[in-house]
Amino acid sequence: MSINILRPLFDAGKLWQGNAETTVEVTDTGFPELNGKLSGRGWPAHMLIEILTSDIFSAPMRCAFSTWKTQQDARWIALVNPPLALCTERLMQEGINPKQVDVLNIPTNQFAWSLEQLANAVSTRSVIAWESKTLTSTQLRRLQLACQRGQTQLFLVRNPRNQRQASPAPVRIAIDSLPTSFEIRIFKQPGTNAKSPVVIPLELHWLKTPSPVQRKTSTLRAQSSLH
Partner 1 sequence: MIYAYLKFPNLLLDAQSITHQDQSIAIHHQGKIIQSSELAITAGVIPGMTINMALTLCPNLLTQTYQPDAERRLLHRLALWAYQYSHQVAIWNKGLCIEVSKSKSLFGDLQALTQILKQTSASQNFKIQLAFGYTPEMAALFVKAGVRPKERAFEKTLYRLAIDAAEIPIEYVKRLKNMGFRTIGDYFGSPSRARQARIHREIYLYFDAIAGRHQTPLTWFTPPPVFNQSIEFLRGLESIEMLKFPINRLTQDASLWLTQRVCATSRLRWEIILENRQEASLDITLNNPVNTASALADPTWLHIEQLQPQSPMTGIRLIIQQIHQTSPQKSDLFIKTQDTDRAQLLDRLTARLGSECLKAPCRLQDPRPEYANQLHDERNVYPLPNIPARPIWLLNPPESLGQSPEKAGHTLLQGPERIESGWWDFKPACRRYWIGLFQKKRVSWIYQDQYSKNWWLAGWFT
Of 8, 32, 36, 98, the one binding partner 1 (CB under 8 A) is: 98
Residues 127-166 interacting with partner 1 (rule: CB under 8 A): none
Q: How many residues bind partner 1 (CB under 8 A)?
A: 58
Nearer to partner 1, 120 or 192 (CB): 120
Nearer to partner 1, 194 or 222 (CB): 222
224 binds partner 1 (CB under 8 A): no
Exposure string for 41-72, b = 16+ CB within 10 A, e = fewer: ebbbbbbbbbbbbebbeebbbbbbbbbbeebe
Q: CA-CA distance, 98 to 114, in Å (whole number)?
A: 21
Count Cβ atoms below 10 Å from residue 96 Cβ, excluding itself: 18
- CB under 8 A: which stretch of 35-43, 100-108, 133-141, 167-175 binds partner 1? 100-108
Within 10 Å of residue 174's Cβ, how many Cβ atoms? 20
- CA-nearest of 173, 164, 179, 180 to 197 is 173
108 is a site residue for partner 1 (CB under 8 A): no
CB of 212 to partner 1, least distance (A): 11
Q: How far apart are CA 223 and CA 163, in angstroms?
A: 34
Rounded-to-integer distance, Cα 92 and Cα 85, Å: 15
Binding residues (CB under 8 A) for partner 1: these are 57-58, 61-62, 65, 74-76, 82-93, 97-99, 101-107, 110, 113-114, 117-118, 121-124, 177, 179, 202, 204, 206-208, 210-211, 213, 215, 217-219, 221-223, 225-226
